[in-house]
Chains A and B, each alone.
Chain A
Amino acid sequence: MKSRIHGGTKGATTPATTLGLAIAACLIAVSPRAMADGGIVRFSETQFGREVTVMTPPQLTAGEPTPFEVFVQRSDSDPITVNADVVLNFIPERVSVPERTPEFCGPKGNTTGISPQKAPAIFSVVALPHRGMPPASYDAPVTFPAAGQWRLDVQVMEHNATMVTSGRLTVSEAIGGWKLVYPFIVCPLVAVALFIANQWLRMGKFALPRQEIRTKSGMPRRRSLISNESKL
């Protein structure tokens, strides 16, 4: 491998740049948090001099933890409030979900014809102040038990005053099993493709001498030891 950076001839190229690019792409790809500005404003309302804004990811999916962010700030644009109690109440409006039987578990959570159908119940989640640098919002991970139309009542309690603001959310069906795991299925296939390419390069045009690319099969014969063992 010759490289100008490494002191090779000036006209030579460095394939290692490809490696650098690949590493950089991997750094981006593995980032589990590079998603915050995918959030959108769901609804916003001003009551008692406080403006409450609810932000979520664009797509709400049943069965998957979804981050909810609630901003509470004074309507005269003063700094946001960080000492309120915020509770998210989720009320099902038009949802219906098959209930899981206790003896079955798994991604689908149900088997056709075995379990009864039952609508999910109301549930509440307490949103806690965001563990981040200012500005502080109130965050809560929410997992919707079913797809359909939900109403969200955001209850904000501050200085003995309580305000409630509401909005509607549409939650889509849970992602199908194969869609859920396809990146994990693709990875082995990519690894296999890379391995075959590697082997083709090693055994084809750029092959090293045969004895160097092949390890010895089996352990070295040590006849003296083997014969000793048979005597024992």
Chain B
Amino acid sequence: MQTYGQLGLSWIWIGWGNAAAIGITGLLYTRGWICLHQLLPEKYSRLRLAAFLSGLTVLWLALAPALESLSALLLSVHMVQHLLLLVVAPPLLFLGSPELPLLRGLPRSLAHDGIAPFLRFAEAKKITAFLQRPLLCWLAFVGTLIAWHIPIAFDLALHSTGWHHFEHACFLTSALLFWGPVVRGSEHRPGDSGWILPVYLLAADLVNTALSALLTFSDRVLYPPYATVPRLFGTTPLTDQTAAGVIMWVPGSLFFLGPAFVIALRQASTPGILALPASANLPVAPRRRPADQHSRYGVKKIDLLQWPILGAVLQTGRLRRTLQIVLGLLAMVVVADGFLGPKTAGSSLACVLPWTYWRFFAVLGLVVAGNLSCMVCPFTLPRELGRSARGSRRPWPRALRTKWAAVGLLLLFVWAYETFSLWNLPAATAVLVIAYFSASYLVGRFFEGASFCRYLCPIGQFQFIGSLVSPLEVKVRRPDACLVCTTRDCIRGNDHAAGCEMGLHLPVKQGNMDCTMCLSCVRACPHENIGLFFGAPGRDLVQDGRRSSAGRWWSRSDIVALSLVFVFAAFANAAAMAAPVMQWRDQITVSLGLSSTMAVTTAFFLASLVLLPAALITGSVAAGFALAHLKRSFTEIARRLSLALIPLGLAMWTSHLLLHFIVGWNSLEIVLCRLARFAGIQSPGSLTLSAPFLDPAALLRCQVLLLGLGLLGSLYIGWRVVRDRSKSFGQICRFVAPWSLVCTGLYFAGIWIFLQPMYTGMTL
């Protein structure tokens, strides 16, 4: 039998959402407080820290599930919740003097570039000054208090979640306004107007007393919903209401009368001990000098290779080799199951592993880390086998040293995937894997370097483009050390390790293009001068320096074409499995009298991957030039804005593949069960699959959230590209507007696609 005691404290662990938000605020404050405490220990004392953190704790308690649940059943508990929001949390938060600590706790770039312009804005100062007028604050507080205790309003909040949120927001906002003048006034030297504060508090207490008296002495239930809920602890609705009135009256009044008494006492005697001289200056933190491994704001960059265990494991290369072998064996299993196993995609390892699992994790790796897929790619094994064979190898033909072949192969891959439903054909998937192994071996056998990865592999090009938005990047730790380096082992290699297989010279390497993250350069560098750094995602797309082996991107039409295929294929691929698009395709096929949908599908991909991108980019940039009269190279800006779409494309790919993963992640159970039965480990019987761990509504929200982040990334990069070439704010806006419409249109197209029923085939 369960008892109250067993159930007692588990509520603490619930409400993690509030706890996370409040915890982050507390961490920001504490971070800023530590800095300010060193500069002004008296001003930012430990009492301030304790007060602010206590205020946050009270806020969390007021919103915690324990009080929330009880407040639906007991008016007295509801009143405690409101008191915490109205008179306990706000003064504690203000006593922490939170403005500067919170600002100092934020990342310096966000505080300096993001928030400071708003704080310097004169109109914002005027509005703030207006909101701090005591009379206005008092009226807002008292008005809120009275309005929400009118039975109609109170019942509305009880019956509607949205109004209940709004009620709490009103209470907290008005209370913050009300207590601001009290706390600020009490911390300064009393002046002629110092007697206003006790009057201010007493007047508010009068209203509070009147309301609480009404609740306490009423002989009928003022809030009818409390008359129908289950009664607890032997109470009646009327006794509960009386208790609520008493709580509001006695403890509530103490929070008004106590500060009023203290302020009045100080007004009558000496200046407050917390007062600061008016001449005290704002603390100025010493600026750290940006160094090679420091960002613009002097924050040291994180080097993954210097982490204790992970860094050592990554540097040895054994982890990579092990994972390559494991994936190579899995690829062989895929081939075997593709030819010998069932022809139903949902129960075939050949379809489940590559199309449901591998694709999703490859893209997820791009988003959270970097090009992990190329790092552990099993197709490099036959390439190395080809290299070890005897015979001469020649350089890759000069005419083919571009990405155009890869662009064509990627287009072919996307088209074939949809036209022949590769995801639904185990044997075709097996053939594709074999073709990959063969091509990798043959190119490695007859050509130098990693020509297959660099110039041919469509999956690799997909990864290279996507990794331009990844946070991890291989780069040198101290550029000055490379100036005196004469061996250049990072690219040439030495006895211990091979150099960069992609021909990237690390001192002038910028970004992740063509980097497979093999870390050969790390092992080869005799100066231990290469690291794996975290950085802002998408930074490569903002900068336009000369890059090792690639030059400037805006001069590389092949890379721009690759990026456009990457972006628009994300939308076309997802759209092709949406029910309305499939119906249109079928209708057009029938109306044209065709026996197969291949022609219509081909036309669809030709239009969406070639014609549409060209028209949209050219049109929007031309419109921008016409509107802004910008005297710059059309080609350069059009190409750079094409590259700026990559975050949106990656977001679309991630959202789309997330759908496949969530819907089909339990397909592996079917496959494993089949294999177990085949091996005689498990007897035949019914199989109950695990349920998806994300319901459709939550999945849709995740997808839209990802798309939104992608849109913001693309818009920011586009803005930066144009900003560096424009003269004024207005010119930037006029130029960016048409291109932003294209981005926004793609964003809404993506949402529309996800709102449609999606065809997932037999793989689910």
Contact = CB atoms under 8 A, between A and B. Distances in A.
B535 to A, nearest CB: 13
A1 B282 contact: yes
Contact of A41 (B70, B103, B229, B508): B229
Nearest to B172: A24
Interface in B1-31: 1-4, 7-11, 14-15, 17-18, 21-22, 25
Interface in A101-132: 102-111, 114, 129-132
Interface in B659-713: 659, 663, 695-697, 700-701, 704-705, 708-709, 711-712
B233 to A, nearest CB: 8
Contacts of B482: 225
A48 interface: no
Nearest to A215: B296
Given A63-B697, A187-B708, A34 B68 contact: yes
Interface in B524-543: 542-543
A224 interface: yes
A32 B277 CA distance: 44
B102 A65 contact: no
A47 interface: no
Contacts of B747: 188
A229 B708 contact: no
Given A111-B579, A198-B117, A206-B120, A83 B2 contact: yes
B408 interface: no
Nearest to B491: A232
Contacts of A94: none
Contacts of B116: 1
A118 B232 CA distance: 43
Given A82-B2, A192-B712, A225-B505, A105 B760 contact: yes
Interface in A197-216: 197-204, 206, 214-215
Given A106-B754, A197-B118, A204-B729, A38 B161 contact: yes
A205 B549 CA distance: 43
Interface in B148-185: 157-161, 164-165, 168-169, 172-173, 176-177, 180, 184
B583 A15 contact: no
Contacts of B124: 15, 18
Given A40-B159, A232-B488, A13 B68 contact: no
B69 interface: yes
Contact of A104 (B158, B695, B700, B759): B759
B270 interface: no
Contacts of B315: none
B269 interface: no
Tell me if B's interface is mostly helix, strand, loop or mixed.
helix
A132 B1 contact: no
Contacts of A131: 7, 10-11, 14
A6 B10 contact: no
A201 B112 CA distance: 13
B229 A53 contact: yes
A161 interface: no
B546 interface: yes
A57 interface: yes
Q: Which of B160, B479, B719, B732 has the most CB of A within 10 A?
A: B160
B80 to A, nearest CB: 13
Contacts of B276: 7
Contacts of B756: 106, 108, 111
Contacts of B64: 33
Nearest to A129: B2
Contacts of B180: 17
Interface string B245-273: 00000000000000000000000000000
B762 A103 contact: yes
A97 interface: no
B558 interface: no
B316 to A, nearest CB: 26
A4 B729 contact: no
B98 to A, nearest CB: 6
Given A104-B760, A195-B716, A201-B118, A30 B229 contact: no
A143 B705 CA distance: 23
Contacts of A196: 733
Contacts of B165: 28-29, 31, 34-35
Contact of A10 (B9, B70, B278): B278
Contacts of A134: 4, 7-8
Contacts of B483: 222, 224-225
B286 interface: no
Given A17-B131, A188-B712, A40 B225 contact: yes
Contacts of B759: 103-104
A77 interface: yes
Interface string A32-60: 11111111110010000001010101100
B65 interface: yes
A22 B664 CA distance: 41
B18 A27 contact: yes
Among B22, B232, B544, which residue has the most Cβ atoms of chain A within 10 A? B232
B388 interface: no
Given A14-B128, A38-B159, A202-B113, A19 B103 contact: yes
11 contacts: A10-B278, A14-B99, A26-B21, A31-B165, A63-B696, A106-B756, A109-B757, A132-B7, A181-B701, A181-B751, A181-B755
Given A6-B97, A37-B78, 20 more contacts: A15-B125, A17-B131, A18-B131, A20-B176, A28-B169, A31-B63, A32-B17, A36-B72, A80-B230, A107-B754, A133-B7, A134-B4, A136-B2, A177-B700, A180-B700, A188-B711, A191-B712, A198-B113, A201-B120, A217-B543
Interface of B: 1-4, 7-11, 14-15, 17-18, 21-22, 25, 43, 59, 63-66, 68-73, 78, 93, 97-100, 102-103, 113-121, 124-125, 127-129, 131-132, 157-161, 164-165, 168-169, 172-173, 176-177, 180, 184, 187-188, 225, 228-234, 276-282, 296, 479, 482-483, 488, 491-492, 505, 507-508, 510, 542-546, 548, 552, 579-580, 583, 659, 663, 695-697, 700-701, 704-705, 708-709, 711-712, 715-716, 719, 723-724, 728-729, 732-733, 747, 751, 754-762, 764
Interface of A: 1-10, 13-21, 23-41, 44, 51, 53, 55, 57-58, 63-65, 71, 73, 77-80, 82-83, 102-111, 114, 129-136, 143, 177-178, 180-181, 184-185, 187-188, 191-192, 195-204, 206, 214-215, 217-222, 224-226, 228-229, 232
* Smallest CB-CB A-B distances: 8 pairs: A16-B99, A7-B280, A218-B545, A219-B545, A111-B579, A177-B755, A201-B117, A38-B161
